[in-house]
């Protein structure tokens, strides 16, 4: 290491590297290797179907250059220069991230508080109509709170997206949506039965009378809208409905939430207490403000500030293209390798839909790159994007970034076009010889995307790269636990970043756990459209 960094200002460097414990250990290892004339052992490198030696032992100048390079990556070029000059370096502002467990705890606490609001107002009674009414009140309150939670999870709040991960939020949203629908239906049936018993009439007559109340009629319409949204989200229907139609129907959720809010303000649990009315209104106002800000205001502001335009569309393989988008001040976005944006291209037959695509390379010279495989009409049309096309990009989103790393060694496991975030991480994750391994699963060599880039990165970083080729129904499974251990003997000591088609990702996760990798060290984000 350069003496100015390695000895004269070791404290400054140490403070900067303390935020990256895995890489700090690597720097120490490299310093020791430089002193002894060794910097690692030869590693297997890129070759289709397996790995061959990428020669050499890094020595002297190469060690210093490698450490200097990663100093610039971690601290930024300006900060590294300041360290060399002996000046104080301000701490970089890191993206705020809300841990999944903390968010779960907060949401659960909110549910407990809502249940408490119901409990303090319960009037014990053995009458049948009172029992029905009590159950209706509880399910109604929980359903209203659940709708708020579902909207909050999809508000695209950066701290939530970066900490929890967009795919996990989507799963929570889908799981929670089923519970909300169940609570809404339960509330409706309990209220109907309670009113019928109280009035001494049948259910049809009771239902007709209840619909005469405006607040109840509004709630009935809102429940119907939620049921319609839920029905189109089931797997059987979802496969047959175009993505654009599905997204348009999902917008009905906002109308349903507004109708439910009007109904709740008229209900006895909320209307009976000025404090409850104030708190319930504040919660709805806060969630509405987050939705408007992050789903409307921020995208428009980013579009005006960065003025993104397509500058090139490059063919990468069969049905695969890379789209290069340039703009102004893209460093302000603080996009990290592994993250994605939601892209809307303002060109005929494309402008009406925004889809998420991961960055397939680090941000360079105010240029973003995504690599897209034709999987439907929308992605097929992207091959005909014209240079100069305006782009609206919202983000960055996603938690598949370096901050999830907890171990020195990292395995990147990609399937198909899932290589795109893995390629960006492969280039940028801090690590020395032997620390990084990339396994790329594809049906054949012709389906490999960005192959030349991957092999250049593997060679320059002395990282291992293996192509796992063959049909998914072949007799030999390259993702079987023993096959993975053969390729990566110390697999259990790795963090694993995983991205690929859902079936491949699920099978790989099971195999990794059986091979000894703790589930908490397997990090992935997957989407289906």
Q: Tell me the per-residue pLDDT of 170-200, one tens digit each, with 9 for 90 and over.
A: 888 888 888 988 898 898 898 888 888 888 8
Distance separating alpha carbons of residues 412 and 454, to the nearest angstrom: 12
- What's the domain range around 356? 308-397
For residue 494, what pLDDT is reported? 92
Whether 19 contacts 73, CB under 8 Å: no
Whether 268 contacts 121, CB under 8 Å: yes
* pLDDT > 90? residue 108: yes
Whether 340 and 209 share a structural domain:
no
Q: Give the DSSP per-residue string, 305-370.
A: HH--EEEEEEEEETTEEEEEEE-S-GGGG---TT-EEEEEE-STTTTT--EEEEBSS--BTTEEEE
508 by DSSP, 3-state: which? helix
Please indicate, yes or no, if residue 303 is contained in any of the structural domains. Answer: no
Please indicate, yes or no, if residue 21 is contained in any of the structural domains. Answer: yes
Question: Distance of alpha carbon 51 from its chain centroid, rounded?
Answer: 31
Whether 294 and 207 share a structural domain:
yes
Whether 51 and 147 share a structural domain:
no
Q: What CATH number has the domain bearing residue 471?
A: 3.40.50.80
Please indicate, yes or no, if residue 198 is contained in any of the structural domains. Answer: yes
Segment 153-160 shows an average pLDDT of 87
Domain boundary among the residues 40, 63, 93 is at: 93
Distance separating alpha carbons of residues 26 and 21, to the nearest angstrom: 9
pLDDT band at 425 (very low <50, low <70, confident <90, very high): very high
pLDDT band at 359 (very low <50, low <70, confident <90, very high): very high
Question: Is the link from the previous residue into 396 a cis peptide, with omega within 30 of 0?
Answer: yes
Whether 270 and 150 share a structural domain:
yes
Residue 55 or 158, more confident:
158
What is the chain's alpha carbon radius of gyration, rounded to the nearest angstrom? Answer: 27
Segment 59-75 shows an average pLDDT of 43
Residue 430 or 41, more confident:
430
Please indicate, yes or no, if residue 529 is contained in any of the structural domains. Answer: no
Please indicate, yes or no, if residue 247 is contained in any of the structural domains. Answer: yes
CA atoms in the 13 A half-sphere facing the CB of 363 = 16
* pLDDT > 70? residue 375: yes
The domain total for the chain is 4
Cα-based torsion angle of the residue sequence 253, 254, 255, 259 in order, rounded to the nearest 10 degrees: 100
Range with the poorest average pLDDT among 89-98, 214-223, 393-402: 89-98
How much of the chain, in percent, has pLDDT values that exceed 90? 21
pLDDT band at 527 (very low <50, low <70, confident <90, very high): low
Locate 358 and state its tokens: 């991961």
For residue 309, what pLDDT is reported? 93
**Going by C-beta distance under 8 Å and a sequence separation of 6 or more, which residues neighbour residue 355?**
243, 342, 343, 378, 379, 529
Whether 342 and 216 share a structural domain:
no
∠ CA(109), CA(110), CA(112), 5° rounding? 65
Whether 422 and 518 share a structural domain:
yes
Locate 132 and state its tokens: 């029905």
Q: What CATH number has the domain bearing residue 345?
A: 2.40.30.10
Best CA proximity match to 256, nearest among 195, 157, 180: 180
Please indicate, yes or no, if residue 444 is contained in any of the structural domains. Answer: yes
Whether 162 contacts 97, CB under 8 Å: yes
* pLDDT > 50? residue 90: no
Please indicate, yes or no, if residue 254 is contained in any of the structural domains. Answer: yes
For residue 526, what pLDDT is reported? 67
Whether 23 and 169 share a structural domain:
no
Per the prediction, the chain carries an average pLDDT of: 78
Locate 192 and state its tokens: 């109907």
Whether 269 and 328 share a structural domain:
no
pLDDT tens, residue by residue, 482-496: 989 989 988 989 999
**Going by C-beta distance under 8 Å and a sequence separation of 6 or more, which residues neighbour residue 145?**
110, 111, 114
Whether 490 contacts 463, CB under 8 Å: no
Distance separating alpha carbons of residues 128 and 136, to the nearest angstrom: 12
Whether 265 and 318 share a structural domain:
no
Q: What is the pTM of this model?
A: 0.67
Segment 260-271 shows an average pLDDT of 76
Segment 412-420 shows an average pLDDT of 90
Distance separating alpha carbons of residues 107 and 154, to the nearest angstrom: 14
Please indicate, yes or no, if residue 284 is contained in any of the structural domains. Answer: yes
Domain boundary among the residues 397, 422, 437 is at: 397
Whether 187 contacts 264, CB under 8 Å: no
* pLDDT > 90? residue 253: no
Whether 287 and 342 share a structural domain:
no
Domain boundary among the residues 93, 121, 155 is at: 93
Helix then strand then coil, % of the chain, to nearest 5: 55, 15, 30
* pLDDT > 80? residue 5: no
Whether 342 and 463 share a structural domain:
no
pLDDT tens, residue by residue, 270-311: 766 778 888 888 998 999 999 999 988 988 888 889 999 999
Whether 83 and 114 share a structural domain:
no
């Amino acid at each position: 290491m350069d003496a100015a960094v390695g000895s004269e200002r070791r404290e400054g460097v140490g403070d900067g590297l303390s935020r990256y414990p895995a890489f700090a250990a690597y720097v120490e290892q490299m310093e020791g290797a430089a002193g002894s004339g060794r910097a690692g052992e030869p590693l297997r490198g890129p070759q289709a179907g397996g790995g061959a030696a990428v020669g050499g032992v890094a020595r002297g100048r190469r060690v210093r250059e490698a450490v200097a390079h990663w100093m610039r990556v971690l601290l930024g070029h300006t900060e590294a220069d300041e360290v060399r000059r002996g000046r104080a370096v301000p701490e970089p502002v890191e993206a705020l991230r809300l841990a999944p467990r903390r968010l779960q705890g907060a949401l659960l606490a909110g549910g407990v508080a809502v249940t408490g609001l119901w409990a303090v107002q319960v009037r014990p009674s053995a009458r049948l109509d009172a029992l029905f009414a009590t159950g209706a009140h509880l399910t109604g309150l929980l359903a209203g709170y659940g709708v708020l939670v579902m909207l909050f999870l999809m508000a695209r709040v950066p701290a939530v997206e970066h900490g929890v991960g967009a795919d996990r939020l989507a799963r929570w949203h889908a799981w929670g949506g089923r519970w909300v629908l169940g609570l809404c239906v339960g509330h409706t049936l309990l209220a109907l039965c309670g009113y019928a018993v109280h009035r001494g009439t049948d259910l049809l007559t009771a239902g007709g009378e209840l619909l005469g109340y405006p607040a109840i009629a509004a709630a009935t319409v809102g429940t119907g809208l939620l049921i319609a949204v839920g029905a189109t989200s089931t797997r059987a229907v979802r496969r047959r409905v175009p993505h654009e139609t599905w997204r348009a129907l999902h917008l009905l959720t906002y109308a349903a939430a507004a109708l439910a809010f009007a109904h709740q303000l008229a209900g006895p649990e909320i209307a009976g207490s000025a404090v409850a009315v104030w708190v319930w209104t504040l919660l709805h106002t806060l969630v509405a403000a987050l939705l408007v800000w992050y789903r409307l205001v921020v995208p428009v502001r980013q579009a005006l500030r960065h003025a993104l335009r397509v500058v090139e569309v490059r063919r990468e393989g069969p049905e695969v293209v890379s789209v290069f988008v340039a703009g102004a001040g893209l460093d302000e976005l603080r996009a990290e390798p592994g993250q994605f944006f939601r892209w809307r291209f303002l060109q005929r037959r494309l402008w009406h839909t925004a889809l998420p695509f991961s960055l397939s390379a680090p941000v360079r010279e105010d240029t973003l790159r995504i690599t897209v495989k034709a999987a439907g009409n929308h992605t097929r049309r992207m091959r005909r994007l014209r240079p100069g096309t305006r782009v609206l990009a919202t983000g960055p989103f996603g938690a598949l970034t370096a901050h999830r790393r907890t171990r020195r060694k990292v395995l990147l496991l990609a399937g198909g076009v899932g290589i795109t975030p893995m390629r960006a991480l492969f280039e940028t994750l801090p690590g020395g010889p032997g620390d990084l391994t990339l396994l790329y699963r594809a049906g054949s060599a012709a389906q490999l995307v960005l192959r030349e880039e991957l092999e250049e990165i593997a060679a320059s970083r002395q990282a291992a790269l293996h192509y796992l080729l063959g049909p998914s129904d072949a007799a030999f499974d390259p993702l079987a636990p023993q096959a993975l251990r053969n390729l990566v003997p110390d697999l259990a000591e790795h963090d694993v970043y995983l991205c690929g088609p859902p079936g491949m990702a699920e099978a790989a996760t099971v195999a990794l756990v059986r091979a000894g990798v703790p589930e908490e060290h397997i990090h992935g984000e997957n989407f289906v459209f």
